[in-house]
Chain A
Amino acid sequence: MSDPVAFKWVEIAGFRGFNQRQRIVLDASAVIVIGPNGTGKTSFFDALQWLLLGTLQRLERWRVRKNDEHIVNLYRSSEPAVVEAELVIRAHHVRLRRQGRYDEGILELHDENGSLHGDKAEERLAEMLRSRPGQDVRRLLMSSALLQQDVVREVLEDKPSERYQHLAGLLGLDELGQFETEVKKRADRLANAGKEGRASFEAAQTRAEGLRARVSALENDMRLAADVRAAREEIVKRLTTVGSLVVLDPIPNTSAEAALAQTATQASGEQLAEFARRRRELDDKRKDNRPHDEAALASQTAALSIAESAFAVAEQEARDAERALAEATERSSQMAALAANAIQLLGETCPVCGQDIDQHDVERHLQERITNRGDASLSAAMQGVEAARSRTQLASVEVQRCRDALAPLLAAKRQADEYATAERQLSGELETADLSLGASLRLVEVDAIRAGDLQRLEETVAALRVAWRAAADLVAVLRSDSSDARLAAEAADLRRAEEAIISFRASAMAVSEQEEKAKLLHRAATRAVAGVTSARFRRLLPTVQDIYWRLDPHPSFTTFDFELDVYRLRGIATPIVRDVDGSVAGDPLLLFSSSQANVVALSYFLALGWAAGADALPFVLLDDPLQSMDDVNALGFADLCRHVRRQRQLVVSTHERRLGALLQRKLAPRLDGERTRLIEFKAWTRDGPVIQQSEVAPQVEEGAQRSVVTANAA
């Protein structure tokens, strides 16, 4: 059996912890990497990963900025990092060289077929690493060939759905996950198509219902307008009868044109009817109007003026007489008052001259004075007033008489003036009236109408009424005529809509059927993928269990598993460990110590690599897998490594000297051709790791001989 070797050597320069170029010879089926923490062991494993994948996914999450450098050695930042190696992958001898920085690492590949560069080299390398088309190389490497510290434990610490995805990926079932995603996309797509199909079907139904109603209404209209052509001819005939006054040319062919003509004839008819009414009124007024007499009017006006002057004089005289009477009355009153006072003083002699007086006679005179019977001026004034009043009344009568005579003369003049004004206004309006009636309608007697010819006006109004009625009838006829065309169009639409309904119904049913099938496929795919994944786990479990028991021979929880289930159409995975005897089960993360959890994780990783068989990569890289494990675990692990290295190249590191020594003893060659390399990371300087390399001395003879058991016992 030939010693399985994948990596022959690797050269690292300017990469992470490596500064100066160093060649590490790996040409052995077991490579033990020993060294204290911080001496560059993980940089060595990172170099192998970067060489193969061009990325260090583990470090991506720690990079804050895009240009954070995590590839190039900080003491050699002016030059790019370079990792080179010679490998044997699936019987292909290949030499790889990757050079670059944080943002890019260009790969060169040289093999028996020649040299490739960049993307072509990446594709060729991926082809070599894959055991079947479409495999995710990164997943393949990370799930079963390169165990980084704590990476597998992350599987245990994932959320249930992410853990499910992660485990499926570890089992090489990414493609099933992609299938499930595609099935879901298809189901969503068909669900949308189904929704749209149903909406189209419903819209077609609604449209058809509308069309059916319209067709029904139009059919009804059509029954009412049975003989459209005859009706139209009759109307056209009616229109020709008024052709001497109103011309409708061309005869409307559409209901819209007819409606315009109807509106125009109505408006024009109303306008001209109003003109005719006013013309008629003016003519009537002219008949009743008597011609007024200007001379008589002037004479009567002059007579009135004289009479009014005489009346004014008489009124003045009356006012003067009234004033004189008022003065006489005042004087008489004063005399009466004096007389009344004198009577009281009356004696037999005059108090002034002392002569004897006739007291009785004086008293009588005084009494007359008191009663004004003796005042002649007062009487004269009163007579004057009466005479003035009489003259005023006579003058007033004369004024009224003159006015009465003048009134009819003035009324006749006013009427004549009003008529003349109305006549002028009507003539002006007729002159300026807009008598154009649109493109197809024309008045014949426009001049006569503008001249105010009442007969022509009334005839034209009558003709317009005839034309209006005809236009209205034409509208109805043409409408019923266009209903016929519309009915044909709507019926055709309805037929198309009915056909569309049939088509939409058929396609909606077909899509619904597909949708149901797609839903079923989606549900089934989710369960099927979980079923396949679960079956894979079941198949993998004996190997996991086998490896687990080798690492931990007497665990309390004797079996462990992932319970796979489907919840809300998503696969979920729950890690579980069982104590079969005690019938107890639980989550290992809650029950196990860190060391125990590491053993579980390591068991899964090794089992995955092992179960992959011929599909697995030809090497297993284990970066310090023994952290926090006890002696028994370590001894079990060392014995396990002996089996693993016989199938594929094993590169294992540890920071513990004792474990390193154990691995050296356990992995020392025991078969012819078997080789073991020891890579000791002694220290780290700014030039890079200080590495001592050697070959572990073979113990083939010790292995071959049966020293304790006698040879003949076999």
Chain B
Amino acid sequence: MPQLGHSQRLLATAGSVLRQNTFTVQSEALEGAEAGWLLAESELFILAIAAAENLAGLREVEAFAAPELLQRLKSTPSLGAKRWDAYLVLMATLGADEDTDAEHLIDIEYNTRGVRRLVAVAVEPTEDDLRRVLRPFLALPAPDPGGLSDAFAELREQLVINGVDEVEANRAVVAFEQKGHLNDV
């Protein structure tokens, strides 16, 4: 198997993450983008994902990707209101230079004409990093099954950690849980 380039690895990992989250994903070639791009769709979102080495590369890719995506959306009349849920996600493997890139980054992010653009820099080709980048399109992480309950169990542990005898800690916590006070402890 040939060695994948960094951008290709980003796209491959992104595809994997999206598939795990009910997206339909396909890769296509894209003019101006050596690694091509990824098209993904769920019942809520249409995503076009492209990658480059740095922000300058992303600006070049964006120049091809945005019109191409808009063209596709226009040419698909059955989309209905879903066309407003289309995003162009641009990922760079290198970080942005604060002095020179900040303005360009804002320009891309705040350009909401036709399609919303999301830019992510310094992206590692790992599922964790890609989940971070694609977070807006993924469901919120499931809350802790325990919620915020059973604070008293944690309290008991913390009391012991802070030097209280285990029996004493347990006695105080149990008395409070049962009576709501420590008057007779």
> CB within 8 Å of B: which residues of A?
131-132, 134, 171-173, 175-176, 178-179, 182-183, 185-186, 517, 520-521, 523-525, 527-529, 531-532, 535-536, 539, 542-543, 546-547, 549-550, 553-554, 610-616, 630-632, 635-636, 639-640, 642-644, 646-647, 665-666, 668, 670-671, 699, 701-711, 713-714
Contacts and interface: CB of A to CB of B under 8 A. Distances in A.
Contacts of B2: none
A665 B147 contact: no
Given A182-B181, A517-B168, A615-B148, 11 more contacts: A182-B176, A521-B159, A524-B163, A610-B140, A610-B143, A612-B147, A616-B147, A666-B84, A702-B81, A708-B46, A708-B73
Interface string B144-183: 1111110110110011011111001100110010001111
B44 A642 contact: yes
26 contacts: A134-B180, A171-B148, A173-B151, A175-B151, A178-B180, A179-B173, A182-B181, A517-B165, A520-B163, A524-B163, A524-B169, A525-B155, A525-B172, A531-B161, A532-B158, A536-B148, A611-B147, A611-B148, A615-B148, A630-B110, A640-B140, A699-B82, A702-B80, A702-B82, A708-B72, A708-B76
B78 A524 contact: no
Nearest to B27: A713
Interface stretch (B5-13, B57-65, B112-120): B112-120
A610 B140 CA distance: 9
Contacts of A529: 155, 158
B105 interface: yes
A712 to B, nearest CB: 8
A553 B162 contact: no
B109 to A, nearest CB: 6
Interface string B25-51: 110000000000001110110100000
A644 B110 CA distance: 25
A709 B136 contact: no
Given A524-B159, A702-B80, A707-B79, A613 B144 contact: yes
Contact of A631 (B44, B80, B110, B144): B110
Query: Looking at B24, B39, B40, B73, which has the most chain A CB atoms within 10 Å of its CB?
Result: B24
A190 to B, nearest CB: 10
B162 A531 contact: yes
Contacts of A520: 163-164
B132 A635 contact: no
A17 B41 CA distance: 44
Nearest to A517: B168
A507 to B, nearest CB: 17
Contacts of B106: 554
B39 A632 contact: no
A703 B41 CA distance: 9
B81 A186 contact: no
Nearest to A529: B155
A702 B79 contact: yes
Contacts of A615: 147-149
A665 B172 contact: no
A706 B24 contact: yes
A666 B82 CA distance: 9
B1 interface: no
A672 to B, nearest CB: 10
Contacts of B147: 131, 611-616
Nearest to B179: A182
Interface string B107-148: 001101000101100000000000010011101111111111
A701 B81 CA distance: 10
Given A613-B147, A639-B136, A713-B24, A631 B158 contact: no
A186 B162 contact: no
Contacts of A671: 43
Contacts of A616: 147
B56 to A, nearest CB: 17
**Could you tell me the dominant secondary structure of chain B's interface residues?**
mixed
A701 B79 CA distance: 9
A611 B144 contact: yes
Contacts of A639: 44, 136-137
B43 A704 contact: yes
Contacts of B141: 542-543, 546
B4 interface: no
Nearest to B148: A172
A528 B158 contact: yes
B85 interface: yes
B163 A612 contact: no
A140 to B, nearest CB: 10
Given A546-B141, A612-B148, A708-B39, A524 B182 contact: no
B172 A521 contact: yes
Contacts of A647: 140
Contacts of A631: 110, 112
A643 B112 CA distance: 22
A553 B43 contact: no
A668 B82 CA distance: 10
A703 B151 contact: no
Given A520-B164, A611-B147, A701-B80, A546 B135 contact: yes
Contacts of B84: 665-666
Contacts of A525: 155, 159, 172
Query: Looking at B76, B141, B163, B172, which has the most chain A CB atoms within 10 Å of its CB?
Result: B172
Contact of A176 (B76, B136, B155): B155
A665 B116 CA distance: 14
Given A178-B180, A703-B44, A709 B109 contact: no
Nearest to A182: B182
A636 B140 CA distance: 13
Contact of B140 (A524, A543, A554): A543
A611 B143 contact: yes
A710 B28 CA distance: 11
B162 A527 contact: yes
Contacts of A642: 44
A643 B163 contact: no
B136 A524 contact: no
Nearest to B22: A714
B81 A665 contact: yes
Nearest to A711: B24
A528 B159 contact: yes
Contacts of B146: 613
A567 to B, nearest CB: 16
Contact of A709 (B39, B81, B152, B168): B39
A615 B150 CA distance: 11
B23 to A, nearest CB: 8
Given A520-B164, A531-B161, A549-B135, A707 B182 contact: no
A531 B158 CA distance: 7
B151 A176 contact: yes
B83 to A, nearest CB: 9
Given A131-B149, A532-B158, A708-B41, A539 B82 contact: no
